[in-house]
Amino acid sequence: MSMGLPAVVGYYEPWWIQIIKAIVIFAVGLQLVPLVLIAERKLLGRFQARYGPNRVGPYGFLQPLADILKLLTKEQFRPTTSVGLLYALAPIISILTAVAAFGLIPFGDTQDIFGTKVGLYGVDLSIGPLYLFAFGAIAFYGIMLGGWSSGSKYSFLGAMRGAAQLISYEVSQGLALVGVVISAQTLSLTGIVHAQAGMWYVVPQLAGFLIFLVAGFAETNRAPFDLTEADAELVGGYNTEYGGGRFASYYFAEYLNVVVVSGIVATVFLGGWLLPFGLHPPGWVDPLVVLAKMSLVTFLFIWVRATLPRLRYDQLMSFGWKVLLPLATVNALVTAILVVATH
């Protein structure tokens, strides 16, 4: 493994390649969200022994398009008790942080395209996972400010739950990644993928993988941890008072976060663009491999949502602090000892 070299390439790319990459990444993200939306609704339908949406377009595949058009053409309103500026700002923060995190996922190694070296990722940082957690931290303000500035009790309660949940599970998520970082001995995400050439980290880091996945469910406010927007108790949580385009922004950010967590799991634990059994396909296959692995993880997200009931709030908290956090700590500790002992 050539340590460090992949992490540096991003700095030397010409500015126009970086602009093109930024546009491509945003466009890809924009396409993935409706796909995840329709996949979730169709699969939830099948899990619950019904058809799911099947009226708009062939097999109902144009349903997300209709939903988004409906939301975007609605009137922009805001409650009289809301705080204007923050109310408008909060969904923007949410969507910004989601797209920024998406830019980190490597879809392939550095490729030779028409004689120019291009990395198939937005940016490969020497602080990979830390950048991710930094934007995860800012994403909190999107939810919190949205709930607070709505001036409604339900929104506020949803935002408060989200706040407590994010703080609790972010720690376990970070510690789960520490094991991988210690094993790979680099913080660069492409470096982590290269380090998995012999064996994907899902095998030696199985505990870390499971902890990261569970914490990922909580971080993206997905079932069974979707107390932030528990519709039976809170109407809709932090986005109760939102409608139209702003609600669409929250919705987009939420599903993009699912895609991002799937991408991180695929990169960090499932070997990124690497294939097992010594297969070395040409470079253009790499993004397809990553997308296939991501969709597997997304399918797991939907499967869990269809299967598990929502936790009670105190169960959520005691699970996060008393089960997940000690497990993640022990995992990081054992990995560190093993790495030092085998060196």
| Residues facing 112 on adjacent strands | 117
Site for another protein in 154-173 (CB under 8 A): 156, 159-160, 163-164, 166-167, 170
By CB under 8 A, the count of residues binding another protein is 33
Query: How far apart are the C-alpha atoms of 243 and 235, rounded to whole Å?
Result: 13
Residue 168: closest CA among 60, 313, 14: 313
Which one among 121, 131, 217, 250 touches another protein, defined by CB under 8 A? 131
321 binds another protein (CB under 8 A): no
DSSP for 242-283 reads --HHHHHHHHHHHHHHHHHHHHHHHHHTS-TT--STT----G
Q: Which is nearer to another protein, 52 or 147 (CB)?
A: 147
Q: How far is the CB of 163 from another protein (least distance, A)?
A: 5
Q: How far is the CB of 192 from another protein (least distance, A)?
A: 13
Query: How far apart are the C-alpha atoms of 132 and 123, rounded to whole Å?
Result: 12
Site for another protein in 24-63 (CB under 8 A): none
Which one among 26, 141, 299, 321 touches another protein, defined by CB under 8 A? 141
Q: How far is the CB of 211 from another protein (least distance, A)?
A: 18
Residue 31, C-beta contacts closer than 8 angstroms, at least 6 positions apart:
none
Q: How far is the CB of 255 from another protein (least distance, A)?
A: 22
125 binds another protein (CB under 8 A): yes
144 binds another protein (CB under 8 A): yes
Which one among 49, 115, 314, 341 touches another protein, defined by CB under 8 A? 314
133 binds another protein (CB under 8 A): yes
Q: Which residues of 5-30 are buried (b: 16+ CB within 10 A; e: fewer)?
A: ebbebbeebeeeeeeebeeebeeebe
Residue 213, C-beta contacts closer than 8 angstroms, at least 6 positions apart:
265, 297, 300
127 binds another protein (CB under 8 A): yes
Token pair in block for residue 168: 């609790």
Q: How far is the CB of 135 from another protein (least distance, A)?
A: 8
Residue 147: closest CA among 214, 221, 213: 221
Binding site residues, another protein, CB under 8 A: 3-4, 7-8, 11, 125-127, 130-131, 133-134, 136-138, 140-141, 144-145, 148, 156, 159-160, 163-164, 166-167, 170, 186-187, 313-314, 317
